[in-house]
């Protein structure tokens, strides 16, 4: 649980520590698709089983891309997607913690300025 008066630097250190082991990281979705082949008398296609292959779907600037993933790379791609989801969740948490730290820093600065103004006004009355 974060301290009540966490600073922006504290949040940065926390984030770096949490994200340290999250490589490789990626966003997207991995799907197993089944497609027919081009051979006329393929037994797998005739039976309806078709040919399985993995595809990684990603969006870049709103456009969807599909990338074929060879079977031997599937475990590493799954790991990168899992790490990407964890990293995305960390970024959401960081947004909240960082914002609270900045607001606390701002409030402290305002209190200090107001305190200085009050002290100067008191000194002028003497």
What pLDDT is attached to residue 126?
63
Domain ranges of the chain: 8-117
Please report, for residues 14, 96, 111, 116, 120, the alpha-carbon distance to residue 124 in angstroms, rounded to integers and kept in the order given. 45, 42, 20, 12, 6
Question: pTM, whole model, 2 decimals?
Answer: 0.74
Residue 29: which region, alpha, beta or left (left: phi > 0; alpha: psi -120 to 50)?
beta
Mean pLDDT over each residue of the chain, to the nearest integer: 88
- pLDDT tens digits, residue range 19-50? 999 999 999 999 999 888 888 888 888 888 88
- What does each of the 126 residues of the chain score in pLDDT, given as a tens digit? 555 789 999 999 999 999 999 999 999 999 999 888 888 888 888 888 888 899 999 999 999 999 999 999 999 999 999 999 999 999 999 999 999 999 998 888 777 666 666 666 666 666
């Amino acid at each position: 649980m974060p301290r009540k008066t966490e600073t922006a630097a504290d949040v940065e250190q926390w984030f770096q520590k949490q994200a340290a082991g999250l490589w490789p990281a990626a966003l997207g979705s991995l799907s197993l698709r089944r497609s027919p082949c081009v051979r006329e008398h393929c037994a797998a296609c005739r039976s309806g089983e078709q040919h399985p292959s993995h595809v990684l779907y990603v969006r870049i600037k709103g456009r969807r891309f599909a990338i074929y993933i060879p079977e031997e790379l599937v475990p590493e791609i799954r790991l990168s997607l899992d790490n990407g989801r964890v990293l995305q969740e960390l970024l959401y948490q960081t947004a909240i913690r960082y914002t609270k730290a900045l607001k606390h820093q701002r409030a402290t600065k305002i209190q200090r300025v107001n305190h200085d103004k009050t002290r100067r006004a008191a000194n002028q009355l003497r």
